[in-house]
């Protein structure tokens, strides 16, 4: 999916919600365990229930990888099930030397038809660029992460100016364009988020915002939306594990709709 199409989807669905498919065999409803592929069955029902309210889906690859070959089969079926008009994110946080990153790109862009992959910046340009060579495919680069350990290095103040995460935003903008790069921005403070928007006014930002990881959707939207949308806000556990019973999919749909309604309002106000 390209930039225009994503922007169009956001406008037509009045939503910039991304549903995180962190599907864990120990957390999905018990009654699904009798299915041949419980994780895929869970994802399928979650997708069906939320598809009208979400523009993006983001399986976190760790959850699938932890189940070995069977997990990869569930992931493959999930990506095949997702329709072409939603934006798909392999939340894989990969990154390696050039020829090896190309292998990861093949895994997620060719073996599985993901639109995008999250990539870690530590190894620099030639670990990221191989992902950018694929047409209509995207890198979503980690800039500022919302976990506690994010503070260990990302906020280091540099002699060349600014903080490390700001340097990542600045330098990496030379590697791609707003048409093939986004950033993971887990900003928890409003002023931080405003600063980031100044540094990258045009790129899409993926925000692990709503739900378990905290974050205020109104503030995010006010500071982050731009004329093309410019935001994807992820919710994982708050949607997919909203209920643990027979009604899990229906409840997930209700939660997604609640968020989408708020988003529709913010799009009216701030776009």
With contact defined as beta carbons under 8 Å apart, do 50 and 19 qualify?
Answer: yes
Looking from the CA of 173 toward its CB, the CA atoms found within 13 Å total: 14
The question of whether 178 is a catalytic residue gets the answer: no
Q: Going by C-beta distance under 8 Å and a sequence separation of 6 or more, which residues neighbour residue 151?
A: none
Shortest Å, Cβ 128 to a second copy: 7
Half-sphere exposure of 168 (CA within 13 A, CB side): 27
DSSP 3-state of 146: coil
Both tokens of 135, joined, read 């047409």
What is the closest distance, in whole angstroms, from the C-beta atom of residue 26 to a second copy in the complex?
11
Which residues in 21-40 are b (16+ Cβ under 10 Å) and which e? bbbbbeebbeebeeeeebbb
CA 76 to chain centre: 18
Q: Mark 153-172 with x for binding to a second copy (rule: CB under 8 A) and - for no binding.
A: xx-xxxxx---x--xx--x-
Binding status of residue 128 toward a second copy by CB under 8 A: yes
> Contacts with a second copy in 193-252 (CB under 8 A)?
none
Q: Which helix (H) or strand (E) holds 70?
A: helix 69-81
Q: Does 76 bind a second copy (CB under 8 A)?
A: yes
**Contact pattern for a second copy over residues 8 through 47, marking x by CB under 8 A:** --------------x-x-----------------------
Alpha-carbon distance 263 to 6, whole Å? 16
State which residue, 27 or 218, has the beta carbon closest to a second copy.
27
Least CB distance to a second copy at residue 213 (A): 8
Tell me if 68 contacts a second copy by CB under 8 A: yes
* Stretch binding a second copy (CB under 8 A), from 9-17, 47-55, 69-77, 241-249: 69-77
Binding site for a second copy (CB under 8 A): 22, 24, 60, 62-63, 65-69, 72-73, 76, 91, 93-98, 100-101, 103-104, 106-107, 111-112, 120-128, 142, 145-154, 156-160, 164, 167-168, 171
Active site residues: 93
């Amino acid at each position: 999916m390209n930039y225009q199409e994503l922007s169009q989807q956001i406008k037509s669905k009045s939503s910039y919600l991304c549903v995180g498919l962190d599907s864990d065999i120990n957390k999905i409803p018990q009654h699904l365990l009798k299915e041949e592929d419980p994780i895929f069955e869970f994802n399928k029902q979650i997708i069906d229930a939320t598809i009208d309210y979400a523009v993006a889906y983001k399986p976190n690859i760790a959850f699938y990888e932890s189940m070995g070959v069977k997990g990869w089969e569930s992931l493959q079926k999930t990506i095949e099930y997702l329709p072409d008009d939603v934006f798909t994110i392999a939340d894989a946080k990969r990154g390696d030397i050039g020829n090896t990153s190309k292998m990861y790109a093949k895994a997620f862009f060719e073996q599985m038809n993901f639109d995008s992959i999250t990539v870690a910046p530590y190894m620099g340009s030639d670990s990221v660029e191989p992902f950018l060579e694929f047409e209509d495919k995207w890198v979503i680069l980690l800039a500022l992460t919302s976990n506690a350990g994010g503070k260990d290095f990302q906020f280091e103040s540099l002699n060349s100016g600014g903080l490390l995460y700001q340097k990542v935003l600045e330098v990496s903008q030379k590697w791609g364009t707003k048409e093939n790069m986004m950033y993971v921005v887990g900003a928890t403070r409003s002023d931080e988020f405003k600063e980031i928007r100044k540094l990258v006014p045009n790129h899409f930002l993926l925000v692990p915002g709503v739900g378990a990881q905290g974050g205020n959707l109104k503030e995010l939207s006010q500071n982050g939306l731009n004329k093309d949308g410019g935001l994807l806000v992820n919710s994982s556990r708050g949607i997919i594990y909203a209920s643990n019973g027979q009604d899990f999919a229906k409840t997930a749909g209700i939660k997604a709709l609640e968020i989408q309604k708020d988003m529709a309002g913010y799009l009216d106000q701030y776009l």
